[in-house]
Amino acid sequence: MKKSEQTVLEPLEGMGSIITKKGVGFRVWAPNAKEVFVVGSFNKWKNKKNSLESEGNGYWYGFVEEAKAGDEYKYGIVTQGGKKLFKNDPYAKEVTNSAGNSIVFDSTYDWEGDDFQLPSWNELLIYEMHVGTFNVKRKGKPGTFASLIEKLSHIKELGMNAIELMPVNEFPGDFSWGYNPSHPFAVESAYGGPNGLKDLVKAAHQQGVAVILDVVYNHFGPSDNDLWCFDGWCENDLGGVYFYNDRRSETPWGNTRPDYGRAEVRQYIRDNALMWLDEYHVDGLRLDGTMFMRNIEGVFMSPANDIPEVWGFFQWLNREIQERFPNKIIIAEDLMNDAWITKDIDKNGAGFGSQWWADFVHPIRSVIIPSDDEFRDMEKVVNAIQFPPEDAFKRVIYTESHDEVANGRARVPEEVWPDNAGHYYAKKRSFLGVGLVMTSPGIPMMFQGQEFAEDKWFTDERPLNWKLAKKHKGLIKMHTDLIQLRRNFYDNTRGLRGHHMQVYHVNQEQKLIAFQRWQEGGPGDTVVVVINFANQTREGYTIGLPASGDWELRFNSDWKGYDKDFTNQPTFTMGAHKGKTDSMPYYGLLDIGPYAVLIFSQNP
């Protein structure tokens, strides 16, 4: 036998279907199986024609010369009791549908030299989105990666430099939020499958936009879930080798929590995370509901219900990602405001790069939504926006996400004025939240359509209303101008992407605050932000200033060019007068309109 033929027959590295020029190798973990074989279109679905051999430690492997890319297949598993099961490949990267067959997928793809680098975290702005709601010209069908590519120019022109995709792994049916993963390694076929996702990532990178992907590791399924009792073994009527088989299995999505204490399951999740970063060139991951990974109860976080092995799993996963992909970002949706989630692994932290910060979104919404100015608590605002300088970008801040605008809750403008999101007050007060997101320490995030006052709550079956984008061009312009300042497009607002913040003026009675942001400090760097949370114009209002000289108005959310209903209070240059005010050595006088955001800086 020739040497080349011998090497083909030797076991190949990897899991799932492994393509070579001579055929396909198949490897699966089924520790309680009595026999394992593979059936598919390559052997006319004949049982036991292609048996797999035990490699030890629960792994089975076989090589099928007749198999090739595009073939459909399943594993036949004979249980210890003699029952025959047919299961999809846990590592299948493509399936016909969530209840169908696995497909031998060829992962080769022409990336055309893609070497995109994620922006520095202090320059990162995230636009969260759901692929299925970008269904341009597809009535009654979900959006696709291709239809989303058509809208990338809108996101780029808005100024956001990263998109965060809600989960795109294969789920039951064509419509879903994506947080019910049937096949964690496969890409949703209704969206365009694995190559469709690669097309999107490549197109986004060509436009200078990073791609962050939501992944779900706090549960699998619960429906169309072939991992359930995968090799026939399970205890207590629970899920078998991939899942906990005691009370640790309990989640809000059924008894479907993976067994993080089992090495093979940890490896399975690790392989999944690395696949997205490597094969799909995504620039980061956002792990859904990590509090439900590390605690049985999740949000209640009783120490008695901790799952201790998860912390070590976080550290193991994040350390490997940091070593292999140092420029990627891994975000936790933990929502417990626990600084240990983002602490360094060497200091016994979990090692995440950043985390969604609940102590921003909830207090800010509670301040801007109520109708009566009297109940706007400026101390709530101050506590929400301040953050330790050394950790400034270890939190993601926002006023809308898929969770905040669904399940009985609405978009901020709609919450401000139900059934009238285009009203003056709705537009004004919702933008106060966006103004804080873009000027406070943290990684800013917006939810799709927020820039044109999308008024409907989020559902996977309703597309974005792009007619509102045409109607509210001024609002889009307002968001764009603010985002450009946040990114220091004109080299005069560098401080907005700096680590430092000082809130130095808080007027609880008149509902107004002022703060400074800076990176190194000085002209072109230090920025002064003034926000009026009241429905009243303030003229000749005095605030402290950190330096002498003229302070130029860079942004006024009350400008009539953004909306004909705005009042256009004209403060363009604010001179600094000597005199200690607000603990500052100088002071200035300004005019500010109702519910308005002003940004000042000095010329470099």
Q: Nearest CA to 536 among 514, 558, 556?
A: 558
> What local confidence, expressed as pLDDT, does residue 139 receive?
84
Between CA 54 and CA 57 the distance in angstroms is: 8
pLDDT, tens digit, 9 for 90 and up, residues 427-456:
999 999 999 999 999 999 999 999 999 999
Residue 6 has pLDDT above 60, yes or no: no
pLDDT, tens digit, 9 for 90 and up, residues 365-384:
999 999 999 999 999 999 99
* Both tokens assigned to 419: 């059934």
Residues 156-174 as b/e (b if ≥16 CB within 10 A, e otherwise) read: eebbbbbbbbbbbbbbbbb
CA distances from 167 to 144, 191, 201, 220 (A): 13, 11, 14, 12
CATH superfamily, with its number, for domain 494-601:
Golgi alpha-mannosidase II (2.60.40.1180)
> What local confidence, expressed as pLDDT, does residue 526 receive?
98
The CATH classification number of 116-221+270-356 equals 3.20.20.80
Is 595:574 a contact under the CB 8 Å cutoff?
no
> What local confidence, expressed as pLDDT, does residue 23 receive?
97
Question: What DSSP character marks residue 176?
Answer: -
> What local confidence, expressed as pLDDT, does residue 9 receive?
56
- The arithmetic mean of pLDDT across residues 332-339, rounded, is 97
CATH 2.60.40.10 applies to domain 3-103: yes
Specify the higher pLDDT residue, 572 or 273.
273
- Tell me if domain 3-103 and domain 494-601 are identical in fold: yes
CA distances from 51 to 78, 202, 229, 231 (A): 11, 39, 21, 15
Between CA 380 and CA 377 the distance in angstroms is: 5
pTM over 0.95: yes
Residue 130 has pLDDT above 90, yes or no: yes
Q: Where are the domains of the chain?
A: 3-103, 116-221+270-356, 494-601
